[in-house]
A and B are shown apart, each in its own frame.
Chain A
Amino acid sequence: MIELENVGYNYGGGELLTNVSVKLAPGSFHFLTGPSGAGKTTLLKLCYGALTPTSGRVRAFNMDVQGLDRDQMAHLRRRVGVVHQDCRFLDHLPVIENIALPLIVSGKDLGGEEANLRELLNWVGLSSRADALPPELSGGERQRAALARSVILSPDVIIADEPTGNVDWEMSQRLLQLLVELNRMGKTILVATHDMALIRAAKNQVQARVLRISSKQLHLAGADL
Chain B
Amino acid sequence: MSEGRLRKLIIGDAQADRVVPPSGFTAHLTLFASGAMAFLAVFALALSLASGRLADRWAEELARAATLRINAPLEQRDAQTRQALTILNQTPGVASARALSSEEQAALLAPWFGSSLPIDRLPVPQLIEVIEDEQGYDSTGLRLRLQAEVPGAVLDDHTRWRAPLVDAARALRRLGAVSILLIAGAMAAMVTLAANAALAANAQVIEVLRLVGALDSYIAHAFVRRFTLRALGGSAAGVALGMIGVWLMPEASNEGGFLTGLGFQGWGWLLPLLIPLLAAAVAFMATTRAANKRLGDLT
Q: What is the interface of chain A, defined by CB distance below 8 A to chain B? A: 50-51, 70-71, 74-78, 82, 84, 88-93, 97, 101-102, 104-106, 110, 149, 153
Contact = CB atoms under 8 A, between A and B. Distances in A.
B140 to A, nearest CB: 73
Interface string B274-299: 00000000000000000000011001
Question: Which 9 pairs of residues, A with B, have the shortest CB-CB distance?
Answer: A105-B214, A78-B213, A77-B213, A92-B21, A102-B212, A74-B215, A104-B15, A88-B208, A101-B212
Of listed B22, B213, B217, residue having the most chain A CB within 10 A: B213
Of listed A50, A88, A90, A153, residue having the most chain B CB within 10 A: A90
Contact of A74 (B21, B22, B214): B214
Contacts of A93: 18-19
Given A101-B19, A104-B15, A90 B213 contact: no
A77 B100 CA distance: 89
30 contacts: A51-B299, A70-B215, A70-B295, A71-B215, A71-B216, A74-B210, A74-B213, A74-B216, A75-B213, A76-B213, A77-B213, A78-B213, A82-B211, A88-B207, A88-B208, A89-B208, A92-B21, A92-B22, A93-B18, A101-B19, A101-B208, A101-B209, A104-B15, A104-B16, A105-B16, A105-B19, A106-B213, A106-B214, A110-B15, A149-B212
A110 B217 CA distance: 20
A105 B211 contact: no
Contact of A97 (B18, B204, B209, B217): B18
A77 B211 contact: yes
A71 B215 CA distance: 6
Interface string B210-253: 11111111100000000000000000000000000000000000
Contacts of A88: 204, 207-208, 211
Nearest to B202: A90
Contacts of A91: 21
A101 B205 CA distance: 11
Nearest to A71: B215
A105 B213 contact: yes
A93 B295 CA distance: 22
User: In which size bucket is the chain B interface?
Assistant: 20 to 34
Contacts of B205: 90
A105 B18 contact: no
Contacts of A70: 215-216, 295-296
B238 to A, nearest CB: 30
Given A74-B214, A105-B213, A149-B212, 8 more contacts: A70-B215, A70-B295, A71-B216, A71-B217, A75-B213, A76-B213, A78-B213, A105-B215
Nearest to A101: B212
Contacts of A82: 211
Contact of A84 (B21, B211, B296, B299): B211
Contacts of A71: 215-217
Of listed B215, B218, B299, residue having the most chain A CB within 10 A: B215
A105 B207 contact: no
Contacts of A149: 212
Nearest to B212: A102
Contacts of B210: 74, 77
A90 B19 contact: yes
Contacts of A77: 210-213
Of listed A88, A89, A97, residue having the most chain B CB within 10 A: A88
B91 to A, nearest CB: 77
Nearest to B205: A90
A51 B299 CA distance: 8
Contacts of A105: 16, 19, 209, 212-215, 218
Contacts of A74: 210, 213-216
B79 to A, nearest CB: 93
Contacts of A89: 208
Contacts of B16: 104-105
